[in-house]
Amino acid sequence: MADAIITIKDVNKFYGSGNAKQQVLHDINLKIFEGEFISIVGTSGSGKTTLLNIIGGLDRRYEGSCTVDGKSVEKLNEKKLSRLRNETLGFVFQNFNLMEHLTAWENVALSSHFTGTNIESGKEFERASEVLARVGLKDKILSQPANLSGGQKQRVAIARALFNKPRILLCDEPTGNLDSKTGEDVIQLFRDLNRQDKITLLVITHEDRVSKATDRSVHIEDGKIISVNSKDAPVK
Ligand SMILES: Nc1ncnc2c1ncn2[C@@H]1O[C@H](COP(=O)(O)OP(=O)(O)OP(=O)(O)O)[C@@H](O)[C@H]1O
Ligand SMILES: [Mg+2]
């Protein structure tokens, strides 16, 4: 079996303090294996985004440990944490988060401009074109978001997440704003990135068709993992 690329051990997460203290994650234990395509499902408020933020190093105020690509997220200094976020992880969100006045390629290359990149200086346009072609947008490199459909905008956002050659993509409701056909295409793209490009993919969703497309589906309710279903061996 492949090695775990993400290990979450005994994670508890609280919001607020005093009387307002609320526990939103309870004793979460989960291993995600290299090359997996895994989904996290659960009703609104069940703790999915909270868990993703912990894995992505965006929230480090929790109890327990979270190891990503061999590094304990809670122990890294800011510099090492941003290196992990920029070089190992890619993020995709429901709302695309594109800059309206920039072209597709500028959107793809922009964040790396601020956060550092693996890409050789002067090669940003080349790399942006390459990832845009990978997501099927070769002819939209110079288009601005206003001239793109919802599905195309999400593909630009996925290309942006791929820019730095991440090993893991973390996606929070990536098809939440897309119609079903467009959502289907994005799921197919994720499957290709997983199978062909060997990227480990973690997708939060409340859509059955998305979770069914993944190898394993983790069901969270009230901050607890209540079941894990895998395609080969369903576990109750
Ligand atoms: N910054 C915060 N401060 C206080 N409570 C929060 C904060 N963020 C989330 N919560 C609470 O933590 C719980 C889990 O929220 P979370 O955003 O992880 O849910 P979710 O499963 O992603 O929901 P959705 O499907 O609606 O996105 C909820 O009860 C929410 O109200
Ligand atoms: Mg959420």
Predicted confidence (pLDDT) per residue in 111-138, tens digit: 776 666 666 777 899 999 999 999 999 9
pLDDT interval class at 235 (50, 70, 90) = very low
SS3 83: helix
Q: What pLDDT score does 113 carry?
A: 67
Percent of the chain with pLDDT over 90: 87
pLDDT digits (tens, 9 = 90+) for 88-105: 999 999 999 999 999 999
Q: What pLDDT score does 81 carry?
A: 95
Asked whether the beta carbons of 110 and 99 are under 8 A apart, the reply is yes
Which letter, b or e, does each residue of 92-127 get, where b requires 16 or more Cβ atoms within 10 Å of its Cβ? bbbebebeeeebbbbbbbbbbeeeebebeeeebeeb
Task: Please indicate whether residue 49, judged by its CB atom, sits closer than 6 Å to ligand 1.
Answer: yes
Task: Please indicate whether residue 42, judged by its CB atom, sits closer than 6 Å to ligand 1.
Answer: yes
Residue 190 has pLDDT above 90, yes or no: yes
pLDDT digits (tens, 9 = 90+) for 7-49: 999 999 999 999 999 999 999 999 999 999 999 999 999 999 9
* Ligand with an atom nearest the CA of residue 222: 1
Element (H, E) at 216: strand 216-221
Ion ligand 2 residue ranges (Cβ < 5 Å): 49
What are the structure tokens assigned to 111, written together?
Answer: 């964040």
Is 1-88+168-236 in CATH node 3.30.43.10?
no
Amino acid occupying residue 132: L
Chain centre distance of CA 98 = 16
Asked whether the beta carbons of 211 and 42 are under 8 A apart, the reply is no
Q: Rounded to whole angstroms, how far apart are CA atoms 7 and 65? A: 8
* CA 51 – ligand 2 centroid, Å: 9
Q: What pLDDT score does 122 carry?
A: 76
Task: Please indicate whether residue 50, judged by its CB atom, sits closer than 6 Å to ligand 1.
Answer: yes
Task: Please indicate whether residue 214, judged by its CB atom, sits closer than 6 Å to ligand 1.
Answer: no
Q: Where are the domains of the chain?
A: 1-88+168-236, 96-165
* CA 90 – ligand 2 centroid, Å: 17
